[in-house]
Amino acid sequence: MAATDQNYRPQRTLDIVFALSCVLMLVSLVWMFGQDYNREFKKIQRQFRDVDEALTQRAMLEKLPDPENVNTASEAVTQARQELSQIMESNRSATQALLVAKARQEAEAQAAKADYDSVMSLWVIAVDEQDSAPDDKRRQELQAAVDRRRKQLDALAAKLNTAQVNLEKTQTELSKMQDAEKKAEKVLSDREDELKKVAGQFDRFAKAVAQKQWKFGDWFRKLPVIDGFASPVKIQQYTLTEYPIDYSFKYVTRYDRCTTCHLGMERPNFTKAALRNLESPDDLPADSDLGKQLREKLTKEQERLDEAHQLVMDQARDPKTKELLGFDPGDLPKKVTTVNLTQTQINEYCVHPRLDLFVDPNSAHPVEKFGCTSCHAGQGSATDFLLAAHMPSSAEQKKEWKSKLGWESNHFWDYPMLAKRFVESTCLKCHHEVTDLIRYGNKLEAPKLIKGYELVRESGCFGCHEIAGLKSGREIGPDLRLEPSPPLEAYAPGERAKMLADTENPPGKMRKVGPSLYRIAEKTNEHWARRWVRSPRGFRPTTKMPHYYGLSNNDPNLKGVLPADQKDFPDAEIYAVTYYLFRESQDYLEGKDKYRGAMKARLKELQENQLRSEQETRVMEELARRLELDKDPIPLAKEIRDSEGQVISLPAVPQDAKGQEDQRRHGRLLFTERGCLACHSHSGTTKAEGQFAAVDSDANFGPDLSRLAAKIAPEVKDPDAKRRWLIQWILNPNIHFPRTRMPITHLKAEEAADVAAWLLSQPAEGWDAQEDVPAPRPEAIVDLARVYLLKAPGMTHEDVREILTPVEGNKWQGMAPADAKRLPLDADERQLSGPISEDALKWYIARKAITRLGCFGCHDVPGFATSKPIGTALNDWGKKDPERLAFEDIVAYVREKYRRVNELIDDKGHGPVTEKGQKPPYEEYFFEALEHHQREGFLNQKLIEPRSYDFDRLRTWDDRLRMPQFKFARGHIKPLEGETQEQAEVREEAEAREAVMTFILGLVAEPVPTKYLNSPNIDRMAEVKGRQVLDKYNCGGCHQIRSGLYELNPSSVLTGKLEEAYTRSTNGASYKSDYRTRMFLEHNAWTGLPSPNPDRLMLYGIPAPSPPDIEPGQEFARLSQALRFTDSSKQVHDIPAGEIVDFTNKELIARAEPFGGRFANLIVHAKHLTTRDSQKFQTAANGESPDSRAALPPPLLREGEKVQPAWLFQFLRSPFAIRPLTILRMPRFNMSDDEAMDLVNYFAAVDKLTNPGIGVNYPYISPMAQRQEGFWQEHSQGYFAGLKQKNLAQKRIDELKPLWAMIHSEQTAELEAAIKASKDAEARKALEAKLAPIKDLAAFEKTQQALWESKEAYATDAYRLLASNDRCLNCHQVGQLQAKQPTGPPLNLTAERLRSDWTLRWIASPQRLLIYPDGQHSMPQNFKSNDQPWPEFQGTMLDQVTAVRDVLIDYPRVSAIPANRAYHPPTGGNK
């Protein structure tokens, strides 16, 4: 059809449709804008502004000054202002007149000046004209003009002068009048200052409040759509270009927008308490207690606000004062603003809880550099709750988030935020040493992570799982790899250096955590070992060794776990493994073990082969070295060795019963006090008996030895075998296990025998020695062997059937010997060359089982020297893709086996209660994490029941999961108040497990930009590394190494207490006799260091015994460093070290316990020594015992400033006895030179860091002045001059004369005797020549005197000061001079042992440097600054201290001076 004018569709319909569509589009746009307006962060920011206003308002109210003061001050201002205006008023007319006069006079003067200047110029022109005249005549003519001008000039000068004088007069009058005004102005400004002082803070807050109110402009700008422009709400972000996010294919700048919602993050006043305080009572019922309280509070606040209002209005009445306010008083709100915040909102708005460490620009992790996600993870660029990937920290929180915030897990962000409970994990990204998270001595900044690290180290996780610190040469985390085998120390220095220089793969450092099993046959028997392998905790509940049997995937008693034909496998395997261990151990001890044999054979073969390849040569060298390192063992039955490696004979057992009883008693004594309890515990010492106090050690560094007697039971007929092993172990554990951390304790063989006798006499309580693992049927062994054989390379079903065909005499056919020969040399199947016995099968099974279970990860197992760890590497487990974790049917397992509880640890910190017959508790949080396939869930369950993932899965025996079941909470668990033992154990285990998880989740192998890595300076690094060595050898078990730290809030209460303590200290005798003002200005025992946090006082000290009646919450600490504080009158004071300070827990912000000193505290608190010998060791009234402390390991506070590094290094390598009082000796640790050096550096570095003013240096110390040539000469000359001045010189010479005479006679007699004896004429002549000049006594004395005056005077007198029975010799031996009662170390050690500066300080003020809780110790202050100086030496007390120190530091030289050598101190007092 042709075209028409007709519309295709009716126009009207189209119009309607068009209109409709337009409306719809409008609706959609409005909807869109609405969505935008209601974006989560915008709502939050709008609310936050209210919160901010309310909070500022409250802060303002808190600062509200006393209105009376303000009014007085402001009235004073007004008054001053009035006075000023009065003065101005009264002066007005006079001033006016003067001003008019002044103006007129100024005009006059100006006019006169102008005239004068003009005439002056004319005169100058006239003179010039005259001077340039061609002849005198003309000059004469011009003279007149000049004169005329001159006259005019003079007249004008006079006029000008008068005018100026007048003006000055007027001005003087005027300023006189203005002076009064100025004074009044000054008064006014002073009063204004006063007003500011009174009300300034308030005004500032009031101004802020006024500004923070929503105004029209804000309201308008926040309207929908308009808020797209200059909005008062906007996204806040931190841009971290230097720490980008790895998006797999690209590094993308990190934008952290968290502060878009967490707006109070950086503002210290946004505390949770303050936010909660904003609550309004409106929603609460009127009659509820809370409602009443709130209402009351609010009313009070409203009153204050009214007051504030009044105040501001009062001030504003005066427009001038109003100006001072800086805001419109009308803007101040009339009503107290309240904001009801939910807990989640409070959490959202509150400040970061650790501003001292994070976020704050002055903290270690400023937010500009670190952002938020670098620690917290999550999606930083998100601006809403869900997309930011927040993660709840408990099931409770999750539920709440779900219901209130619509939370659901965000699966589209790979690294969701870390739940609060695991937030410490990320510290590991940059803090690879972990111990660098310990600050200020012993403050654990990431306690959970550090605990996890320690547990991983202790439990030996790295034996199976690689935890490497490097990834292609870049540092990625803590390095916990096994040390090479043989250990590094066994290599030649060159080779060691080469290994250490490898930056890609340097050797690991961790020792295996279990003992070597090479010599196990000497130690125990198969029966015991079987039971141990089956259930280590059954024998020793606190053991580190995990359980391999009786677990969820191999317990034959569990229904449906093992098929009928596998039920015997666990026992068969246990039998096989123990058989293998003892078999191999015996072979090893006899020098016949296969591997050594094979090595020898191979070496011989290689050596004989002339045409070795390069590789073969290397193998040959390796074998030769191995054989050299692994010398043939000598069985204990042949010889035992003492700590020095000398062969000794076994001490005999006393014949009679009494002798044996005495031996046991002595053994217990030694065990208790010789330091064993620093690492071990033993139930035998926990019971008091006769002179023995109960000593309950909770140490678990070494094993609990309570049941030792049941374990040490070698299967030998020899009755001495048990004792022998134990004595050998105590004397020198390295024989049994070269890499043990047990030190050599320096016990004598007899003493070791005593200890062994006692240990072996202690019954193994609760241990049924008869019970055994049921022996497996031979068929079970055959079946188990079949499992492994079928998987052996090249083995067919038919082969296996043949091998396992029974033949005569309980044997099996085995492999044809010819076939076996063809197998590789290291194939286990070679041992099955037929016919084979059950033992051969067991041996074979054990090889496979040990390979599978990885026993060699913790133990040195014969035959497995080169085996590789069996577990998954944990290097990046923390970010392992959960899809790669085999969750299997674990949810069903947990649901079936456990009872889910909301939390394992309740608000009171108690563990969960389990009724009888109830299933064990399981935290809901982790159950849900399992359901949702989160790493946390997997890991938690893996640590609880590592093998439960086999649940409901069909697995062959060898395919079952093999990770053993650990128990992380070991040792003596003490229940809290109101908690049962069972609850406490569950709680401790849960905490420990979470700590381990925190550590493992932190292993993300993310190479962090170098700038972000924590790379401490060299001193701090020494501290960090040293701490690891200290922990490795449990140095803190005996020694107190660092003091505790109490961080206190400097409130007025605390200041009062500190003032008291300060007064107490200044009244004390020790303070008065101190040299504080002269000697130790920079030393932190006298002068406190400023606190690194301005808002808190850092108190270093140790807990001190408290007096009997104290307020609740009160604590006492004895300062180990001076404490600097500001008193109420703004004066700064130092309370020196050694003083006692008290405070209450209200002021305590944080605390760190002292590091180390457990053993000393244990013995003192148990009163072991004071019970044993109450004469020698006395108890102080407060329960302390300084005597006991002196007998126990010394505290090592200030060790670095005290000892010379070289000496300490030598001492650590081979310690010797120093202190006569100490009842135990420093043991010799099995540590490397590097480790010893690390410790030396630790102590020095710590003192360098904590005491920067005293110039501690290390590892080399500056040469000591006393040992320089000329030191003594120089000092003697000055000293002699002093003596002469005091007329003491002759007296000294007279005293010395008898000595010289004695020396003379000695020398001449000696020479004469020599001459007489001499046969050779020439020699005689020489001797005679020597004798001639000294033959005459007078001449001799003269030379001696000259020598003395010029070189020795200082040294001899100083020596006499030292060699005095009143002082040093009282307690110390000094070279040949014996001590009256030796209690201190011999002083001749000083020269090489101590640092010179410290020695001086020590002699001067020992009470400041050695701190016992009680404050008492035996070193007296012999040279008190306020005492009379000692007569032996001419000089002040300070000179005397210095002189004694000088002698000690150069003791060998000074003591060799004849006049000193011959000197014997007078007995008795000389004062």
Partner 1 sequence: MFDSELTSSLQTGLAIYYLVVVLLNLGFAAYQLRARRDTRLAALGAILGLLALVHMLAYFGHANWQLSSGFRAFTTSLMGAWGGQAGPILYTALSVLGFVVFLYYRRFLTEPSVAWLLLNVSLVAAGWSMTDANFRLIVTKEDNVPITMLIFSVGFFTWLAMRKAVINDDRIAKGEPPVESLENDKVLVWPDLVYTELIAMIVCTFLLVIWAVVLKAPLEQPATSAKAPNPSKAPWYFLGLQEMLVYYDPWMAGIVLPLMIIQGLVTIPYIDFNQKGNGYFSFAERKFAISIFMLGFIVMWVTLIVLGTFLRGPNWNFFGPYEYWDPHKVLPLNNVNLSDYFWLGLMRTTLPEHWFWRELPGILVVLGYLLLLPPLLARTIMRPFFIHMGFIRFFLLVNLIQLMAALPIKMVLRWTINLKYIVYIPEFFFNI
Which parts of this chain interact with partner 1 (CB under 8 A)?
A: 1-9, 11, 14, 17-18, 21-22, 24-25, 27-29, 31-32, 35, 247-249, 411-414, 881, 883
Q: What's the closest the beta carbon of residue 1005 comes to partner 1, in angstroms?
A: 13
- What is the distance between the alpha carbons of residues 37 and 222, in angstroms, rounded to a whole number? 9
DSSP category for residue 681: B
- What is the distance between the alpha carbons of residues 503 and 500, in angstroms, rounded to a whole number? 8
Q: What's the closest the beta carbon of residue 948 comes to partner 1, in angstroms?
A: 18
Q: In b/e form, how buried is each residue of 901-911, taking b as 16+ CB within 10 angstroms?
A: beebbeeeebb
* Dihedral sign, Cα of residue 1059, residue 1060, residue 1063, residue 1064: negative
Which residue's CB is nearer to partner 1, number 838 or number 928?
Answer: 928
Q: What's the closest the beta carbon of residue 962 comes to partner 1, in angstroms?
A: 22
Which residue's CB is nearer to partner 1, number 117 or number 414?
Answer: 414
Which residue's CB is nearer to partner 1, number 2 or number 825?
Answer: 2
- What is the distance between the alpha carbons of residues 1116 and 1143, in angstroms, rounded to a whole number? 7
Which residue's CB is nearer to partner 1, number 385 or number 725?
Answer: 385
- H/E segment holding residue 1044: strand 1044-1048
Q: What's the closest the beta carbon of residue 1003 comes to partner 1, in angstroms?
A: 17
- What is the distance between the alpha carbons of residues 1035 and 1158, in angstroms, rounded to a whole number? 10
Instruction: For 1151, list phi and psi in degrees, rounded to 5.
Output: -145, 150
Q: What's the closest the beta carbon of residue 476 comes to partner 1, in angstroms?
A: 17
Which residue's CB is nearer to partner 1, number 374 or number 578?
Answer: 374
Whether residue 776 is preceded by a cis peptide bond, meaning omega within 30 degrees of 0, is no
- What is the distance between the alpha carbons of residues 637 and 634, in angstroms, rounded to a whole number? 8
Which residue's CB is nearer to partner 1, number 14 or number 652?
Answer: 14
Which residue's CB is nearer to partner 1, number 35 or number 342?
Answer: 35
Which residue's CB is nearer to partner 1, number 194 or number 384?
Answer: 384
Which residue's CB is nearer to partner 1, number 17 or number 107?
Answer: 17
Q: What's the closest the beta carbon of residue 1012 comes to partner 1, in angstroms?
A: 21
Q: What's the closest the beta carbon of residue 387 comes to partner 1, in angstroms?
A: 9
- What is the distance between the alpha carbons of residues 903 and 926, in angstroms, rounded to a whole number? 10
Which residue's CB is nearer to partner 1, number 30 or number 1053?
Answer: 30
SS3 content of the chain, % helix, strand, coil (to 5): 55, 5, 40
Q: What's the closest the beta carbon of residue 473 comes to partner 1, in angstroms?
A: 21
Q: What's the closest the beta carbon of residue 30 comes to partner 1, in angstroms?
A: 10
Helices first, then strands: H and E counts in the chain: 56, 23
Contact at 8 Å (CB) between 349 and 264? yes
From the list 1433, 1446, 1365, the residue with the least C-alpha distance to 1400 is 1446
Q: Strand, helix or coil at 284?
A: coil
Q: Report the 3 state secondary structure along 928-980.
A: HHHHCCCHHHHHHHHHHCCCHHHCCCCCCHHHCCCCCECCCCCCCCCCCCCCC
**Rounded alpha-carbon distances, angstroms, from residue 127 to 132, 134, 146, 278, 336:** 9, 14, 6, 93, 89
Q: What's the closest the beta carbon of residue 790 comes to partner 1, in angstroms?
A: 24
Strands (DSSP E) found in 1081-1164? 1097-1103, 1114-1119, 1123-1126, 1132-1135, 1140-1144, 1148-1152, 1155-1156
Amino acid letter, 1385: P
Report CA dihedral (463, 467, 468, 469) to the nearest 10 degrees.
Answer: -130
Which residue is listed with tokens 């001890």?
589
Beta strands at 1132-1135 and 1155-1156: parallel, antiparallel or unpaired:
unpaired
Which residue's CB is nearer to partner 1, number 4 or number 655?
Answer: 4
Which residue's CB is nearer to partner 1, number 670 or number 890?
Answer: 890
Report CA dihedral (623, 523, 662, 1189) to the nearest 10 degrees.
Answer: 60
Which residue's CB is nearer to partner 1, number 371 or number 1458?
Answer: 371
From the list 414, 428, 417, 422, the residue with the least C-alpha distance to 376 is 417
Q: What's the closest the beta carbon of residue 233 comes to partner 1, in angstroms?
A: 20
- H/E segment holding residue 365: strand 365-366
Which residue's CB is nearer to partner 1, number 182 or number 411?
Answer: 411
Whether residue 486 is preceded by a cis peptide bond, meaning omega within 30 degrees of 0, is yes
Q: What's the closest the beta carbon of residue 6 comes to partner 1, in angstroms?
A: 8
Q: What's the closest the beta carbon of residue 18 comes to partner 1, in angstroms?
A: 5
Which residue's CB is nearer to partner 1, number 205 or number 938?
Answer: 938
Q: What's the closest the beta carbon of residue 259 comes to partner 1, in angstroms?
A: 23
Q: What's the closest the beta carbon of residue 889 comes to partner 1, in angstroms?
A: 10
Beta strands at 365-366 and 358-359: parallel, antiparallel or unpaired:
parallel
Which residue's CB is nearer to partner 1, number 23 or number 500?
Answer: 23
What DSSP string runs through 369-418?
Answer: HHTTHHHH-S-TT--STTTTT---SSHHHHHHIIIII-----TT-SSPPP
Q: What's the closest the beta carbon of residue 430 comes to partner 1, in angstroms?
A: 23
Q: What's the closest the beta carbon of residue 226 comes to partner 1, in angstroms?
A: 20
From the list 1032, 1041, 1015, the residue with the least C-alpha distance to 1234 is 1032
Instruction: For 811, list phi and psi in degrees, rounded to 5.
Output: -125, 170
Which residue's CB is nearer to partner 1, number 373 or number 554?
Answer: 373
> Number of C-alpha atoms within 13 angstroms, CB side, residue 343?
5
